[in-house]
Structure 1
Amino acid sequence: MLHFASNLDSSIHLAFTTQAEGNLALHVNDDPHLVGEHRARLEDSIGVRRFSLHFMNQIHSTEVVHIASQRRTSWTEPEAPTCDALVDPTGREALAVMVADCLPVLFVAKDATQKQTFTAAAHAGRRGLLDGILTRTVGELQAVGATHIEAVIGPAICGRCYEVPESMAAESEESRPGIRSNTSWGTAALDLPASAQKELSDLGVSVQQSGVCTLEDERFFSYRRSSRSGRLAGLIWPKT
């Protein structure tokens, strides 16, 4: 796993899984029992109880859900919330976001007194990023009392590799200046990590980048490399 440290709360862990941890998604035509085993091993390795990771049914939206502690005995009941960001107002839950080229973004936040920690995990693909999922997540953190916020942008496809049609590049650049880039082979592309960093920085968020391209680095899953790809997870959880 790729680990990061929080500058706001040293008791919070942030990490991104690799292919070594296996596919963690139930929606990619994998054996659900095998996915369950991968999730169980992952929870054991990070020291959280079984079935305590909060996953999402991600749909490339701007929906944000505030989660609460719950006891579950399977990954299907209750169903994962349909959204693209989770906010934990307590900072005590284990959150997960799954990707295979899109941006996994993890947030740690504190209130003005520096006594309360809040956490969040967001999924930002091209559509969600353009529609404002990251700004919405920051707004939800501020709504629960956050005044200091940091974010880690995990492994994702980079601006040298995310080739898109010329029309899509032009449309995206019109709505979000600076997002357009060029591939290393000279065609139209989008740079989602750089655009996300600028958006968050403009909101006053301190940002760390993993600097890892999922297409270039074969340790990570990439949908562009294989449409049958599994999903890696961005994880944020407290020390126990």
Structure 2
Amino acid sequence: MLDPALPAPPVLEVDLGPGVRAAFTTRAGGTSPAPWDGLNLGLGVQDDAERVLVHREAVGRWLGAPLVFGTQVHGTGVRVLSGEDRAARSERGAGAETCGEYDALVTAAPGLGLGVLVADCVPVLLADAGAGVVGVAHAGRQGLAGGVVGTVLEALVAQGARPETLRAVVGPSACGRCYEVPADLRDEVASRRPATASTTRWGTPALDLPAGVVADLRAAGVTEVFSTGICTLEDHRFYSHRLATRDGVTTGRFAGVVALG
């Protein structure tokens, strides 16, 4: 029987303004064995689902709110969650797995945690503390090119946020000097998001997805944009799908999480 009272894990906390709690998890503090090796928060990667839910609950204890995740499909769909969603997920097993196929979540409900799962893609955390609204977005190559940053910003504004008072943090992800891709793929994405065009340290075509996210945020009028500057291909505190695939194994997912107090 798995321990349902796993202590809240250590996290990389970030500042999204007064009354907002936000962080990125790492591998530390979990009980998953190899190849996940730690605090895996992703379902669907062959880890034990019960263990993953225990991990999610532990992160929720740090956050002070039950966590909601979407099933991420590398798209641009956004769901706005209400206080009713908080009540429905306040007990374990009541919708804890997913709220549907969405790559961005937004809420103005205090005490409801939003989570975004990644392992090289870009996790984006957003908040307008004064307006009392927060959001998360999963910006992988396809979602970023498709405009997921814009769709989550539109949903935040519809809930009362203003771009000039929003604060955004771009989390750990594959950097533009490590994320090698074929030249035609780089050119295709860069034709829609020019800031993503990059070159690896060894001189081959690459994509800089974090730069693309920052460019989209700034183009929309968000001035308070911060980046952790952490590359998941270089910093082994975080899961990397690319590194795992290179080694012929699966891996876990870490998360960006945010909640209004």
Q: Give the TM-score taking structure 1 as reference length.
A: 0.90
Closer, same or farther: CA 64–218 of 1 in aligned 2, 3 Å: same
1:124 aligns with 2:139: yes
Structure 2 equivalent of residue 106 of structure 1: 125
1:30 aligns with 2:47: yes
Asked if structure 2 preserves the Cα contact closer than 8 Å seen for 1:91 and 1:119, the reply is no
Question: Counterparts of 2:107 and 2:242 in 1: how far apart (Å)?
Answer: 31
What amino acid does structure 2 have at the position aligned with 1:14?
A: A
Q: What are the superposed Cα offsets for residues 18-62 of structure 1, whole Å, 9 maximum, x if unpaired? A: 0114000111110112112212222223333xxx20111000111
Question: Counterparts of 2:236 and 2:177 in 1: how far apart (Å)?
Answer: 16
Comparing 122-131 with 198-207, greater Cα deviation is found at 198-207
What amino acid does structure 2 have at the position aligned with 1:193?
A: P
Q: Secondary structure at the match of 2:88?
A: coil
What amino acid does structure 1 have at the position aligned with 2:237?
A: R
Q: What are the superposed Cα offsets for residues 151-206 of structure 1, whole Å, 9 maximum, x if unpaired? A: 11110000011111111011112222231101111110000101110110111112
Question: Counterparts of 1:46 and 1:74 in 2: how far apart (Å)?
Answer: 16
Structure 1 equivalent of residue 227 of structure 2: 209
1:61 aligns with 2:83: no
Closer, same or farther: CA 47–77 of 1 in aligned 2, 3 Å: closer
Closer, same or farther: CA 198–55 of 1 in aligned 2, 3 Å: same
Q: Quick one: which of 202, 220, 226 aligns to 2:244?
A: 226
Question: Counterparts of 2:150 and 2:110 in 1: how far apart (Å)?
Answer: 19
Structure 2 equivalent of residue 85 of structure 1: 104
Question: Counterparts of 2:166 and 2:27 in 1: how far apart (Å)?
Answer: 29
Question: Counterparts of 1:76 and 1:59 in 2: how far apart (Å)?
Answer: 22
Extract unaligned runs of 5+ from structure 2: 1-10, 30-38
Q: What are the superposed Cα offsets for residues 118-168 of structure 1, whole Å, 9 maximum, x if unpaired? A: 000110100000000001111111122212211111100000111111110
Closer, same or farther: CA 87–46 of 1 in aligned 2, 3 Å: closer
Structure 1 equivalent of residue 32 of structure 2: none
Question: Counterparts of 1:201 and 1:36 in 2: how far apart (Å)?
Answer: 36
Q: Secondary structure at the match of 1:129?
A: helix
Asked if structure 2 preserves the Cα contact closer than 8 Å seen for 1:173 and 1:179, the reply is yes
Report the CA distance between 1:67 and its aligned residue. Answer: 0.6
Identity of aligned residues (%): 40
Question: Counterparts of 1:46 and 1:174 in 2: how far apart (Å)?
Answer: 39
Question: Counterparts of 1:60 and 1:223 in 2: how far apart (Å)?
Answer: 15
Question: Counterparts of 1:180 and 1:23 in 2: how far apart (Å)?
Answer: 31
1:146 aligns with 2:165: no
1:10 aligns with 2:18: yes
1:191 aligns with 2:218: no
Total equivalences in the alignment: 230
Closer, same or farther: CA 177–163 of 1 in aligned 2, 3 Å: same
Closer, same or farther: CA 92–44 of 1 in aligned 2, 3 Å: closer
Q: Secondary structure at the match of 1:197?
A: helix
Report the CA distance between 1:76 and its aligned residue. Answer: 6.5
Q: Give the TM-score taking structure 2 as reference length.
A: 0.83
Q: What are the superposed Cα offsets for residues 67-109 of structure 1, whole Å, 9 maximum, x if unpaired? A: 1223333447374221000010235421100000001001101
Asked if structure 2 preserves the Cα contact closer than 8 Å seen for 1:149 and 1:204, the reply is no
Question: Counterparts of 2:18 and 2:241 in 1: how far apart (Å)?
Answer: 33
Q: Secondary structure at the match of 1:122?
A: strand
Comparing 137-146 with 10-19, greater Cα deviation is found at 137-146
Instruction: Give the CA RMSD over aligned residues.
Output: 1.6
